[in-house]
A and B are shown apart, each in its own frame.
Chain A
């Protein structure tokens, strides 16, 4: 299994540009999520999905869109990039059964710089 994969690993955007961060998992996990990591603030949840066709907002959703057309893929779209979106972005997935550890498996991250 490849686990959770993210592309690209690095990206530089100009203010106002749009782009899509790709995330895919091959573990048949129902739950997928996007986090951003900023210095001194830990990881903050942007958007999440509990299954294909179902998405919802997390703690910091403004400026981002998501969709979940398949179980495997959960892309994150930046609509009009701003310097405040410079961050490291992590995609994660897990099972959503009601018992057990159900730890979230994280992708390797995408380092995004907006100039």
Chain B
């Protein structure tokens, strides 16, 4: 069974500063993928970034980067130079090995509020 834990229910960050959102996971699958999604107040789910368990480098997408520490089973999201539009709920999710039907397991989410 897969489990995703996000221990920060809510965070405040000052505009233009960086923020790190924690995500730890538990799985017995030898191969897996980790995802981060953003859910603004409008409700849609927006894909941000992906990290494969065998990827050699940490994933980056613009202002988003993933601090992947495989031995510690953590996949923290770093948002650099925060903007007011980054205020949203952020979900960490994991997909098991490719034989596992592509099911996603989600964490409970972290609400980020960016202050001007």
- Which chain A residues have a beta carbon within 8 Å of chain B's beta carbons? 31, 33, 35, 40-45, 48, 50, 56, 58, 88, 90, 92, 94, 96, 98-99, 101-106, 108-109
B43 touches A33 (CB 8 A): no
**CB-CB < 8 A to A88: which residues of B?**
43
Could you write out 10 A-B pairs with CB less than 8 Å apart? A31-B102, A43-B104, A48-B102, A88-B43, A90-B45, A92-B45, A92-B104, A101-B50, A103-B47, A104-B104
Neighbouring A residues of B6 by C-beta, 8 Å: 42
Please list the residues of chain B having a beta carbon within 8 angstroms of any beta carbon in chain A. 4, 6, 9, 33, 35, 37, 43-45, 47, 50, 91, 93, 95, 98, 101-109
CB nearest to A45 among chain B residues: B103
Q: Point out the residue from B4, B44, B103 that lies within 8 Å of A109, measured CB to CB.
A: B44
CB nearest to B47 among chain A residues = A103
B109 touches A102 (CB 8 A): no
Q: A42 and B101: CB pair below 8 A?
A: no
Asked if B103 and A58 sit within 8 Å, CB to CB, the answer is: yes
Closest-CB distance, A60 to chain B (whole angstroms): 12
Which chain B residue lies CB-closest to A106? B45
Contact A42 B44 (CB under 8 A): no
Decide: A98 and B98 in contact? CB cutoff 8 A: yes
In the complex the two chains form, is B104's CB within 8 Å of A50's CB? no
Q: Is the CB of B44 within 8 A of A108?
A: yes
Q: How many angstroms between the C-alpha atoms of A101 and B66 in the bound complex?
A: 14
Residue of A nearest to B6 (CB): A42
Instruction: Give, as a whole number of angstroms, the nearest-CB distance from A35 to chain B.
Output: 8
Return chain B residues, CB-CB under 8 Å to A43: 91, 93, 104, 106
Complex Cα distance, B37 from A35, in Å, reads 14
Contact assessment for B102 and A102 in the assembled complex, using a CB-CB cutoff below 8 Å: yes
The residue from A44, A96, A108 contacting B102, defined by CB atoms under 8 A apart: A96
Cβ A42 vs Cβ B98 within 8 A: no
Q: How far is the CB of A99 from chain B (nearest CB, A)?
A: 8
Bound CA span A21–B86, Å: 30
B contact residues around A98 at 8 Å (CB)? 98
Which of A42, A45, A92, A109 touches B43 (beta carbons < 8 Å)? A109
Asked whether, in the complex, the Cβ of A42 is within 8 Å of the Cβ of B50, the reply is no
Inter-chain contacts of B33 with A (CB < 8 A): 101-102
